[in-house]
Amino acid sequence: LGQYAHVVEVPDNARWLVISGQVGIDRKGKLATSARKQSEQALRNILACLRDHGMSKRDLVKTTVYLTDSRFIDDFRAARKKVMGSALYTNTMVIIDGLATPDIVVEIEAWAAGRQGTRSK
């Protein structure tokens, strides 16, 4: 079905980071044009949020992926492999009728748990 972990155990003293749904818009405000490119950008946005808080993809615990069409599943999987490599975390994928605007076809929210004392400035 895809690359994900069924379970991730988080240590009691972990520092949580909850990332709102990220879409395929880059820092300049440009929306990627295809489902795969939007997925790649949304995942890169998640990595940027993690970096901004002293974390990395190995700190990811869970993602929830919202797609507007089941035909985009393979695009998302290819993007995930390209951007996240072999990182394993729990994942739920949901096919929905629409997102904030008709042009946005993927949104990904994420949860991460890092070690205490690693908070960035």
Is residue 37 domain-resident? yes
> What is the spatial distance between Cα 105 and Cα 39, in angstroms, rounded to a whole number?
9
Tell me whether residue 104 is in a domain.
yes
Residue 20 neighbours by CB under 8 Å, 6+ apart: 109
**Domain coverage including residue 39:** 15-111
Is 7 inside any structural domain?
no
C-alpha distances in Å from residue 67, one per residue of 3, 54, 59, 76, 91: 17, 29, 24, 9, 13
- Please state the domain count of the chain: 1
pLDDT band at 11 (very low <50, low <70, confident <90, very high): confident
| Tens digits of residue pLDDT in 13-59 | 899 999 999 999 999 999 999 999 999 999 999 999 999 999 999 99
- Does residue 25 fall inside a structural domain? yes
Give me the CATH number covering residue 46: 3.30.1330.40
Looking at the domain assignment, is residue 2 inside a domain?
no
- Let me know if residue 53 belongs to a domain: yes
Q: Identify whether 120 is part of a domain.
A: no
**Strands ordered across the beta sheet of 60-67:** 15-22, 106-114, 60-67, 90-95
For residue 119, tell me if it sits in a domain.
no
Q: pTM of the full predicted structure?
A: 0.90
Alpha helices in the chain (DSSP H): 35-52, 73-84
pLDDT in tens, 61-84: 999 999 999 999 999 999 999 999
17 close to 50: Cβ distance less than 8 angstroms = yes
